[in-house]
Chain A
C-alpha cells in the first residue's frame, strides 16, 4: 500500500515537473517564436491552453495554482504589470475547474468540450486582462474587447485543437 502511494506520488511529481517544463517552454515560445504565427498582430495564448489542460486533468486546486503560476510567469517574461496576467489566468483555472470531472478527464480533453472550455476561459481571461490593460487609458472597453478579446479567444481555441487531437483515442480517429 505504502509502495503504491509512493509510486503515485512519484508519478504526480513527474507530471507536475513536466507541466512546469512545458509551461516554461511555452513561455519562451511565446516571446521568441509566436510572432511568426501572429495574425493581424494577435497571437494565441498557449499558456492558457496549458492551464485549461492541467485543470481538466488534475482538478480544480492544482488548476488554480498552476494557472496562477503561469500568469505570474507570463507577467515576468512579458514585462507586463505583475499580477495582471496572474489574476486573469487564475480565473481561467476557476472557470476550467467548473468543468472538471474526476472520471471524465478523457472525455473533457479529447473532445470538443475542451475547445468550449478553452474558449470560455479565454473570454473570461481577456475580459479581466483587457479591463486591467486599458484601465488608465482612454480606450473604450467594449469595442476593444470585442475586437481583440474575442479574436484572441477564437485564435486560442483554434490552436487548442492540436492538444485535443493528441488526446483523442487512436481507435476513435481511425474509426
Chain B
C-alpha cells in the first residue's frame, strides 16, 4: 500500500493529467451544450454584453473588408435594379401590346425594331419581320400608342418602315369630336401641322386626331396624336392646328404591322392620276 502511495505521489502530475483528460473527454462527450443549462446562457449574455460594450472601437481591417463587400453588393444590386426597371418597362409595353391586339379587329403581327435610320429628314425603322412573315409594301405600322408609318420595302426577314415623321408625309386625318377631316403634314420638329380646318369647327387643345377613312395609305381610326395648339390668323378662314404625336418615336422597341394593304385598284387609280398631273406639270415647264 505504501509502495502504491509512493508511486502515485511520485507520478502525481501524470495521474492528475490522466484525471483531467478523463474530465475533458467527459465534457466533450456531453456534446450538446444546452445540457450545461443556465450557466452557458449567463456566459453568452456576458460575452454579448462585453462585445457590445467594445463595439464602438473601429476595426479598420473589418471595415475595409466590409466596405469591399458592400461595394460589390452595391454593384450587384445596381445591376439588378437596372434589370428590374427594364423588365418593368418591357412588361408594360408587352401588356399594352397585348391589350391592343385584343381590342383591334385588324390583322396584326408584332415586330421588333432592329435598326433606326435617319436620312435627310426621312426617318426609317428596320423591322425583324419580312415577306416570309407576310409583311409587304404599303402595310401600315403602329404601336399601342398610335400610328408610326408604313412599310416601304421588305426582304425575306426584314422590312423598312417609313415613319410619319417624314418630310414627305401628307396624310388624311380626322378629328372625331367635331367630325372634320384635314391634311396632316410634318415640317420638322416634334409636331405635325393639320391644315384646311375651318375656324368654325372650334378645334380645342387636347382633341384627338385619328387617321381618316379618306386616307389611301392607312386604315381609318388609328390614333395619331392630340391637338397641342390651334392658331387662328386674322383674315383667314382656316385654323392652323398643331398636333403632337402619341408615339414617342425615340423610345420605340416593338411595333405592330397591320396586315392590310390599301385597295390596289384605288392605289392604281391614284398613282395613275399622280403620274398624269406630274406629266402635265412637266409639259407646262
A116 to chain B, nearest CB (A): 21
The answer to whether B26 and A83 touch across the interface, beta carbons within 8 angstroms, is: yes
The answer to whether A31 and B50 touch across the interface, beta carbons within 8 angstroms, is: yes
Given contacts A64-B13, A68-B20, contact A32 B50 (CB under 8 A): yes
The answer to whether B43 and A83 touch across the interface, beta carbons within 8 angstroms, is: no
Q: Which of A31, A32, A71, A82 contacts B30 (CB 8 A)?
A: A82
Given contacts A32-B50, A38-B61, contact A87 B33 (CB under 8 A): no
Bound: A65/B61 CA distance, A: 36
- Which residues of A, 13-61, contact B by the 8 Å Cβ criterion? 28, 31-33, 35-36, 38, 60-61
From A73-81, A145-153, A161-169, the one touching the partner chain is A73-81
Bound: A72/B21 CA distance, A: 12
A-B contact count (CB 8 A): 77
From B51-59, B93-101, B169-177, the one touching the partner chain is B51-59
Residues in A with CB closer than 8 Å to B30 are: 82-83
- Which residues of B, 6-45, contact A by the 8 Å Cβ criterion? 12-13, 16-17, 20-21, 23-31, 33, 36, 39-40, 43-44
Bound: A71/B17 CA distance, A: 14
Interface assignment of B62: CB less than 8 Å from any CB of chain A: yes
Given contacts A31-B51, A94-B17, contact A76 B24 (CB under 8 A): no
Residues in A with CB closer than 8 Å to B23 are: 68, 83, 86
The answer to whether A35 and B13 touch across the interface, beta carbons within 8 angstroms, is: no
Q: Which of B27, B31, B53 has the most CB of A within 10 A?
A: B27
Bound: A77/B24 CA distance, A: 16
Chain A count of residues within 8 A CB distance of the other chain = 29
Given contacts A61-B16, A76-B40, A82-B33, contact A28 B50 (CB under 8 A): yes
Q: Which of A71, A77, A94 contacts B47 (CB 8 A)?
A: A77
Residues in B with CB closer than 8 Å to A75 are: 27
A83 to chain B, nearest CB (A): 3
Q: Which of A36, A65, A72 contacts B57 (CB 8 A)?
A: A36
Secondary structure of the B contact surface, majority rule? helix
Given contacts A35-B62, A61-B16, A82-B33, contact A68 B24 (CB under 8 A): yes
The answer to whether A83 and B27 touch across the interface, beta carbons within 8 angstroms, is: yes
The answer to whether A31 and B17 touch across the interface, beta carbons within 8 angstroms, is: no
The answer to whether A33 and B36 touch across the interface, beta carbons within 8 angstroms, is: no
Bound: A97/B16 CA distance, A: 13
- Which residues of A, 83-112, contact B by the 8 Å Cβ criterion? 83-84, 86-87, 90, 93-94, 97
Residues in A with CB closer than 8 Å to B53 are: 32
Q: Which of B20, B31, B33, B54 contacts A90 (CB 8 A)?
A: B20
| Contacts A32-B54, A81-B31, A83-B27 supplied; 18 other A-B pairs, CB < 8 Å | A28-B50, A31-B47, A31-B50, A32-B53, A35-B59, A35-B62, A36-B61, A60-B13, A61-B16, A65-B16, A65-B20, A79-B47, A81-B33, A82-B27, A82-B30, A83-B24, A94-B17, A132-B28
A-binding residues in B (CB < 8 A) = 12-13, 16-17, 20-21, 23-31, 33, 36, 39-40, 43-44, 47, 50-51, 53-54, 57, 59, 61-62
B-binding residues in A (CB < 8 A) = 28, 31-33, 35-36, 38, 60-61, 64-65, 68, 71-72, 75-77, 79, 81-84, 86-87, 90, 93-94, 97, 132
